[in-house]
Amino acid sequence: MSNFLLDPEKLCSDVIAACKETGRWIQENIKNIDNSDIEEKDRNSFVTHIDKQAERQLVSNLSLLLFDADFLTEEKTATPSRKNLTYRWIIDPLDGTTNFIHGLPCYSISVALTKGKEVILGVVYEINNNEMFYSWGGGKSYMNGEQIKATKTNNLKDSLIATGFPYYDYSRMDDYFMVLKKIITETRGVRRFGSAAVDLAYVACGRFDGFFEYGLNPWDVAAGAFIVQNAGGSVSDFSNKDNYIFGKEIVASNNKIHSKLMGIVKDAF
């Protein structure tokens, strides 16, 4: 049925190859976008034919790697199976579409594989820098062949935190800005890149010490959160529980500052 059970590293390598192929296609077609191609699915949630075709390509290639697997995809180009399948791919073909359509060079491909409720493989491909972040099983995390680890920063005052601004759900915006104000004043600074998958990958490799955001979907965070955990970091929802993939809220950190970051978030939310 699958080579995953025999060789998880090989499967991860095959997923990486699929992401690179799709990444090349995205870059080759970036000049073929104009305003008439942009659809607004929901408020400030955009999609182009590039997103849809990239997703179809990924689904096609991943289907060859694991025959009996379901799909959860952002653009819904794959019809979920009615069978109760053990494995499921969670795919974002272009995380950071708003950046993409405005020519800002930060967007990524995110692919996770779950077995039941457990993530067992994660790949995030930051296309413009040609940086591939990945992990499988309960092992280590890597970027372009080199092992990566979360930082060892112990204090918030020495940390750099990433976030994503509310862009459609403004019901919690006041709480969000309470958190943002406190983090700005108690850390080295805050960055907002516009791709949650990249933010999480950067926590995993030590560029950021932490990340928080609400209003996210499973395809935004499943792969990146898994990579953070296998890089020695911690991931939770705003209640410090584990409903961060489907709960639309996430806090990720190097583990050293997690309780302090969670304290700020919980006080506000």
- Does the pLDDT value for residue 243 go beyond 80? yes
Q: What is the pLDDT of residue 44?
A: 43
CA distance 14 to 184: 41
pLDDT tens-digit readout, 130-178: 999 999 998 899 999 999 999 999 999 999 999 999 888 899 999 999 9
Note down the domain range covering 38: 8-147
Q: Residue 45 sits in a domain of what CATH number?
A: 3.30.540.10
pLDDT tens-digit readout, 96-120: 988 998 889 999 999 999 999 999 9
Both 112 and 163 in one domain: the answer is no
The predicted model scores a pTM of: 0.94
pLDDT tens-digit readout, 166-217: 888 899 999 999 999 999 999 999 999 999 999 999 999 999 999 999 999 9
- Does the pLDDT value for residue 244 go beyond 60? yes
Q: 99 or 84: which carries more pLDDT confidence?
A: 99
For residue 28, give Cα distances in angstroms to 15, 25, 31, 47. 20, 5, 7, 17
Both 26 and 86 in one domain: the answer is yes
Q: What is the pLDDT of residue 1?
A: 42
Both 132 and 177 in one domain: the answer is no
What is the percentage of the chain residues whose pLDDT exceeds 70?
A: 92
Minimal CA–CA distance to 205: which of 214, 197, 217?
A: 197
pLDDT tens-digit readout, 245-260: 999 999 999 999 999 9
Domain count within the chain: 2
Considering the domain boundaries, does residue 87 fall inside one? yes
Angle in degrees, CA 33, 36, 38, rounded to 5: 70
Mean pLDDT of 67-77: 90
